[in-house]
Amino acid sequence: MRDVLPVLGGWYAAGVPFGLATVVGVSRSAPRDPGAAMAVGPDEEVVGSVSGGCVEGAVFELAREVVASGAARLETFGYSDEDAFSVGLTCGGEITVLVRAVSPELDPAFGAVARSVAAGEPVIVAAVTDGPARRGAALAVWPDRVLGTLGASGLDAAVTADARGGLALGATGLRHYGPEGQRREDAVAVFLQSFAPPPRMLVFGAIDYAAAVARVGGFLGYRVTVCDARPVFATPRRFPEDVEVVARWPHRYLRETDTDDRTVICVLTHDPKFDVPLLTEALRRPAAYIGAMGSRRTHDDRAARLAAAGLTERELARLRSPVGLDLGARTPEEVAVSVAAEIVALRWGGTGVPLSATKGAVHPHRSS
């Protein structure tokens, strides 16, 4: 959804209704996660994807029907053993898609949501998917305000409270309530989609490898900062335009920078005077991934220095070093792919083993 919002914001500003399809539930090896979106706009223009191509044709027709009627639809697509190329997921699994019409009249909050996402402000959009409440009704929740309604004040209050808790975690998923927001009932299904700011990637060491890692980090959706104590290397012209470049001692910069459980830290300096104080700070704060470049000899020396600095075995176990998966990488770009592969594998619990050497579902079972 985040990727297509700029286009949707333009359609919305023009006042032309468009059909918005959002994945609200998945099972088994479904190709996209909850929150994946596809929209059909003016002149039947299509942006986004809900399945990577398997059911987009059917969703396109649904979106046109929803815009014409104004009535939201909920449809489930699964694998067909009898005819693998009928309308279904040829790769297996199952997805449930909510399709609703969006315009200033139908969803007064959508424009504000698009602006907040563009500005990096956290917001959650709650939409009714099933139950006695009006399907497709939407409520936007910010830390300090709400817009829209799901049709009942009690339901709005319960969803607002849950959404504000979810904002801190960036959580997206289905919740169930009673018609007036009762938490022990499940008559009304509501999909809460979080638009927390993009996770951060902090790259230390402004070398050629850092430029490649910064590019792939931006491709993966991270907000990337490159930091180096040497101003001659820490220059914006050496990095992509959307990368923040900071000339400061790495450990001092990190000490003053907020991190969370989504933050990725890549240490590419492989110089003890930078690495030891930086990793001492990094390994004692929240982060999803902490990797450090260097040979195995460099790693052993660095680990000994960190232990001497007082880090525990548990803290040292968080360090991914040498950084990246074993792909045989040589060039900066190949090393960046190796690092990205390790980050993705750690995030989703992947093994790094070639899929041709594994059995079973390509995607592990995920709860909707």
**What percent of the chain is modeled with pLDDT above 70?**
92
Helical packing angle, 296-308 and 272-282, nearest 10°: 60
pTM: 0.67
**What percent of the chain is modeled with pLDDT above 90?**
70
Residue 366: the pLDDT is 44
Average pLDDT value for residue range 22-33: 78
Residue 55: the pLDDT is 85
Which DSSP string corresponds to 90-121? TTS-EEEEEEEEE-TTT-TTHHHHHHHHHHT-
> What b/e string do you get for 200-209 counting C-beta neighbours within 10 Å, with b at 16 or more?
bbbbbbbbeb
> For the segment 153-198, what is each residue's pLDDT rounded down to a tens digit?
999 999 999 998 777 667 788 999 999 999 889 899 999 999 887 7
> For the segment 52-108, what is each residue's pLDDT rounded down to a tens digit?
777 888 999 999 999 999 999 999 987 654 444 445 555 567 889 999 999 999 999
Residue 28: the pLDDT is 65
Residue pair 285/251 in contact by the 8 Å Cβ criterion: no
Longest dimension (CA), the chain: 69
Distance linking the first and last C-alpha atoms of the chain: 17
Distance of alpha carbon 141 from alpha carbon 162, whole angstroms? 10
Residue pair 18/40 in contact by the 8 Å Cβ criterion: yes
State the number of CA atoms in the 13 A half-sphere of 90 facing the CB: 10
Q: What is the mean pLDDT of the chain?
A: 89
CA 148, chain centre distance (Å): 25
Report the length, in residues, of the chain. 368
Collapsing DSSP states into helix, strand and coil, what is residue 13? helix
Backbone angles phi, psi at 267, to 5 degrees: -105, 110
Distance of alpha carbon 307 from alpha carbon 295, whole angstroms? 18
94 vs 211 pLDDT, higher one = 211
Confidence of residue 328 (pLDDT cuts 50, 70, 90): very high
> For the segment 286-316, what is each residue's pLDDT rounded down to a tens digit?
999 999 999 999 999 999 999 999 999 999 9
Q: Beta strand 123-130 with 94-102: parallel, antiparallel or unpaired?
A: unpaired
Residue pair 161/171 in contact by the 8 Å Cβ criterion: no
Collapsing DSSP states into helix, strand and coil, what is residue 300? helix
Average pLDDT value for residue range 262-279: 94
Q: Of the ranges 66-80, 223-237, 250-264, 334-348, which one carries the lowest mean pLDDT score? A: 66-80
Confidence of residue 237 (pLDDT cuts 50, 70, 90): very high
Collapsing DSSP states into helix, strand and coil, what is residue 36? coil
Given a cut of 70, is residue 10 above it in pLDDT? yes
Query: Over the Cα atoms of the chain, what is R_g?
Result: 23
Distance of alpha carbon 254 from alpha carbon 221, whole angstroms? 21
